[in-house]
Chain A
Amino acid sequence: MTHDTLTGGFTEAPQQSARAFRALMNALARPGSIEKITGASGPAPLSVAAATTLLTLCDGETPIHLAGDHDTDAIRQWIAFHIGAPIASRSEAMFALGTWQALTPITDFPIGTPEYPDRSATLIVEMDALSNIGATLRGPGIQTSAQLSLPETTAFQQNRLLFPMGVDCYFTSGTRIAALPRAIKVEAN
C-alpha cells in the first residue's frame, strides 16, 4: 500500500498531540518504562510511534535529520506537508530519525554547549521490538533500577560521560515508545 502524503496527520490535533506528549514525557521521566503512543501514521518504514513523536514535537523551527532507509522521498514529502520542518545534516539536526545502525556514530549530532546543554539533538531510534529485558538503567526517574532492550551500551555510556551535555534518545517500535535521557547510567547485562 502506498501511503498518501496528505494523510496520516492528527484528526484532532490539540487533544491527540496532548495525549502523545504525555506519553513522551512519561517515557522520558521514567526511563525504561514503555508507553503507548498513537495518533499519526506516515509512509513506511516510519512507525506509528515515530510519526506521532515527530508530529507532536517538530515544526518549522526544528531541523530533522533522516538517516539511512528513513531518508525517502515519501517521508520527506510527508514531513514537508504535515510538519514543515527543514531536513538537515547530522551536525545541524535537532531531531534525527532512523534505525540504530543508520544513526551511529551518534557523536556526530549536536550535544549542546556547557552554557546551553539543551541545544542538543534528540534521536528517534526505530526498533524491531522493545522490551524490559536488556541493559540495566540507573539514574534520575528510576527508583532503583530498570531494564530496557537497548541496541548497544557503549555509545550510551560514552554519551553519559558528556553530562550535562549529550543527546537524548527515544526508541520506537510500532505504537510503543521508551526513552533514554542523557543522565542515565547504562550497564550491560
Chain B
Amino acid sequence: MSDQAYNFAYLDEQTKRMIRRAILKGIAIPGYQVPFASREMPMPYGWGTGGVQVSAACLVPEDTMKVIDQGADDTTNAVSIRKFFENTAGVATTEKTREATVIQTRHRIPEEALTEDQILVYQVPIPEPLRFLEPRETETRKMHALEEYGLMHVKLYEDIAQHGNIATAYAYPVRVEGRYVMDPSPIPKFDNPKLEMAAIQLFGAGREQRIYAIPPYSKVVSLDFEDYPFEASKANHPCDLCGAEHTYLDEVIIDDEGGRMFVCSDTDYCGERQANGHRGRLSPEMEAAQ
C-alpha cells in the first residue's frame, strides 16, 4: 500500500472538522474540557492517541514537528509518533525545540521558552482533575459548572496533614483564567510555572474523549494555600552531563551498587548545552581529568 492510501495527516476530513471545532471551543473557553468523538488510531489508547488526533487536525504541510516523551526525543513513544507523521503527513521533523512549529509532548514542557509561532500539544491520560475524588462524570461536570472546587483543596490539605507538605508532584492542578480547574497532564510540578507561555497549548485525551486548551499568555495559577505556597520542585542536584542547575532532572541507576546519576530530562536542551562546552560531574572529559 502506498503512502497515498492515507489522507493528509491520516484522519479523514470529516473527523478533522469535528476535532477542529472542539479545539476552537477549547480555546474560547480556556481550561474547559470539550467532549469529542475520539477515533480509533493505529496505536492503542494510552500511547498518545489524543495528542496524535489533535496534532493531525492542526498540522499543515509546511510544519516542522518535534515529539517528546518525558522530555526525550529518542524514546519509543516519541520515535513512533514522529515516524507516524513523517509517513502520513509528510511533514519535516526535528529534535530541536527552536526549529519546531508543532511540538507534541508526553509529560514535559521543553526547557527552552516557546514562541508565538509554536503550538504545544499534550498527550493526556485522565483529563478530569476531580476524577480520583469523584468518579461520576455527571457530578464532576456539575462541580465545574458551579465552580465547586472545595474538594480539590481538601485533597491538597490532606496532603499537608499527612506529609507535612503538598505531596502532589505531578499533574498538579491549576486554575485557568480564574475559572476552570484543569489537569495540566502529568507534567512535573516543576513545569507548572511554564504553563503561562506565548505558544498555544492544546491538550488531547483520546481514551477519555476530551480536548482542552490554554490560549497564549493566559493566567494559569497552581492551587495552593497562603501558608503552604506552591513550589516548583526538582531534584536538588546539577545535571551530571551538562552541569545545569535550573532544569528538571531524571534519576538514572547506573550500576548494581546504588550508583546513580541525574541528567536533564530534556535531551535536546542538555545536548545543546554539552555542545556549547558545559560539563557535568560524569562528563567524559571531567572523568579523564580526575
Contact = CB atoms under 8 A, between A and B. Distances in A.
- Same complex origin of A and B: yes
Contacts of B145: 113-115
B24 A14 contact: no
Contacts of B18: 61
Contacts of B217: 140-143
Nearest to B202: A25
Contact of A58 (B7, B17, B28, B179): B17
Contact of B28 (A13, A15, A28, A114): A28
A82 to B, nearest CB: 12
A183 B30 contact: yes
A21 B7 contact: no
A163 B216 contact: no
Contact of A18 (B22, B60, B141): B60
B60 A25 contact: no
Interface in A4-49: 13-15, 17-19, 21-22, 24-26, 28-30
B179 A164 contact: yes
Interface string A95-131: 0000000000000000001111110101000000000
B60 A19 contact: yes
A182 B29 CA distance: 8
B24 A28 contact: yes
Among B18, B29, B34, B59: residue with most chain A CB under 10 A: B29
A183 B29 CA distance: 7
A118 B210 CA distance: 12
A57 B16 CA distance: 9
B23 interface: yes
Interface residues of A, number: 39
Contacts of B146: 114
Interface string B33-68: 011000000000000000000000111110000000
Tell me what chain B mostly uses at the interface: helix, strand, loop, or mixed: mixed
Interface residues of B, number: 46
A182 B216 contact: no
Contact of B32 (A18, A24, A164): A164
B24 A25 contact: yes
A29 B198 CA distance: 11
Contact of A168 (B24, B61, B116): B24
Nearest to B14: A59
A115 B142 contact: yes
Interface in B5-29: 7-9, 13-14, 16-18, 20-29
Given A21-B57, A164-B180, A30 B216 contact: yes
Nearest to A14: B8
B200 interface: yes
Given A28-B24, A163-B179, A168-B24, A22 B34 contact: no
B17 A57 contact: yes
B248 to A, nearest CB: 26
Given A28-B24, A163-B179, A164-B179, A13 B57 contact: no
Nearest to A94: B21
B177 interface: yes
Given A141-B215, A142-B217, A143-B217, A57 B21 contact: yes
Contacts of A142: 217
A29 B179 contact: no
A14 B14 CA distance: 10
A56 B20 contact: yes
Contact of A29 (B17, B35, B180, B215): B215
Interface of A: 13-15, 17-19, 21-22, 24-26, 28-30, 56-59, 61-62, 113-118, 120, 122, 139-143, 163-164, 168, 181-183
11 contacts: A14-B9, A17-B13, A18-B58, A25-B200, A28-B215, A29-B216, A113-B145, A140-B218, A141-B27, A141-B218, A168-B24
Given A13-B13, A140-B177, 18 more contacts: A14-B16, A17-B13, A18-B61, A24-B24, A25-B58, A28-B24, A28-B215, A30-B216, A113-B145, A116-B35, A118-B22, A118-B29, A140-B219, A141-B215, A164-B179, A168-B24, A181-B28, A182-B29
